[in-house]
Amino acid sequence: MRSHRADTYKPGATIGDWRPEDDGFWQSTGRRVAQRNLWVSIPALMLGFVVWQVWSVTVVKLNDVGFGFSKSQLFWLTAIPGITGGTFRILYTFIGPIFGERKFTAFSTVILVAPMLWLGFALQNNGTPYWELALIAAVCGIGGANFASSMANIGFFFPKREKGSANGLNGGLGNLGVSIVQLVAPLVVTAAVLGAPAGGPQHDAKKNTDIWLQNGAFLWVPLLVIMALLAWFLMNDLKVASAPFSQQKIIFKRKHNWLMTWLYVGTFGSFIGFAAGLPLLIKNNFESQGYQATTYAWIGPFVGALMRWAGGWLSDRMGGARVTLLSFVGMAAALVVVIYALPHGGDGGSFWAFFIGFLAAFAFSGLGNGSTFRQIPVIFRDQHMREAEGAGPQAQAAALKQSEMEAGAVTGFSSAIAAYGFFFIPAMFAAMSVTNALWIFIGFYATCLAVCWWFYARKGAEAPS
């Protein structure tokens, strides 16, 4: 067994010798280091989601303080962060392994201070033009890109048997940033909790009271700075995770990169798109009946985030493909309930059937988020190890390293494409009836079911996972 110095694994160090599949190394050193990196990664990722989703709750109050935008314009403001989030995720997927994930986590966290400050100042003037708010929304979208680098990184730290749970915790608790901002922001805007430095109030004409809308942005600034410092001083860079783009780009030739991206668009794309659109759906369809978006909207993403961990945990025990199949069946059934619960013609609809249907859709999307990210490393590991079978220990070690690199890149890339759900789902709600959009989603889930069953779940599947 190779010896290793303790200071090689201390916080802030770059680690060259990393062998999570070696039980002796894992028990003596690996688990402790991996857990430390995981529990710093989670709150940093959570804040990224906060910044990404801050507009989903901000738009609900814009017109109440005098901005005067149309319903379509408001949906577009919730959708725009999805464009930059998805696009920058592609970049973040490949740039993290080049520079080192510890350094990149710190950098990608601290730069989010800028859009939060810009948003906080812009909200204090209801004469701020729409184009400027749209630009701020685009910059806030960069927060969503942190997911790609974070998930690709954490997978390297854990052995195969624990990847599902580790990725489920990192992604699931990170996803809680959506619920946190939708729960906390409406509370902090009701009082001058940040004091005079945060600026004066705006008048909420609807409720005839003062609110401090900028607090929903300024609140996160000190937390972002703190987490950037913790990432810098407590996390580690893994040399095994280091790879230039010239090596990572091989994933674009891998069929299973594209197939798993398709499935992840169905799971995470739904989760993040529904989280962005639900507050306005409640406001537009049920506020007249006394139901407030700020009271209920955060619960759906909360359920989905927690179920992501459950999806990873279940997948480690019963196989990721089976859990993924279950998630698509459940989401389709849940959206049928939502469709029939919406107001139609003179019918006011049923809020509670609508809301419970959406909670179920979030829950099943969370299961699928966890299971697909368990499938990816299993698929690539099994494929490369089969190819290296009988070739000797050195070739098998090289195959394992290659599989880890490709799985990390596929994890990041699939999350990047799926992030566009943040844009397309609210955009579809803005461009067509909600009912038609939901039927389109159900049709898409049917294609995901077919792909998952044929390639990963059926007896004799090409890549059982």
The domains located in the chain, with CATH, are 6-457 (1.20.1250.20)
Per-residue pLDDT, 36: 94
| Contact between 289 and 343 (Cβ < 8 Å) | no
- Residue 353: count other Cβ atoms within 10 Å of its Cβ: 14
- Residue 197: count other Cβ atoms within 10 Å of its Cβ: 6
Closest CA to 151 of 93, 108, 112, 104: 93
Query: What DSSP character marks residue 238?
Result: E
Q: What does the pLDDT look like over 288-345, one tens digit per residue?
A: 899 988 899 999 999 998 898 888 889 888 899 999 999 999 999 999 999 999 998 7
Report the distance separating Cα 107 and Cα 458, nearest Å.
Answer: 43
Strand, helix or coil for residue 203: strand
- Residue 335: count other Cβ atoms within 10 Å of its Cβ: 23
Report the distance separating Cα 450 and Cα 325, nearest Å.
Answer: 9
Q: Which residues of the chain have pLDDT under 50?
A: 1-4
Per-residue pLDDT, 5: 56
Per-residue pLDDT, 161: 80
| Contact between 38 and 166 (Cβ < 8 Å) | yes
**What tokens does 240 get?**
């095994």
In sequence order, what are the residues at sequence separation of 6 or more whose Cβ sits closer than 8 angstroms to the Cβ of residue 112? Answer: 47, 48, 51, 142, 143, 220, 224
Beta-strand pair 209-211/202-204: antiparallel
Per-residue pLDDT, 454: 97
Per-residue pLDDT, 1: 41
Chain-wide mean pLDDT for the chain? 89
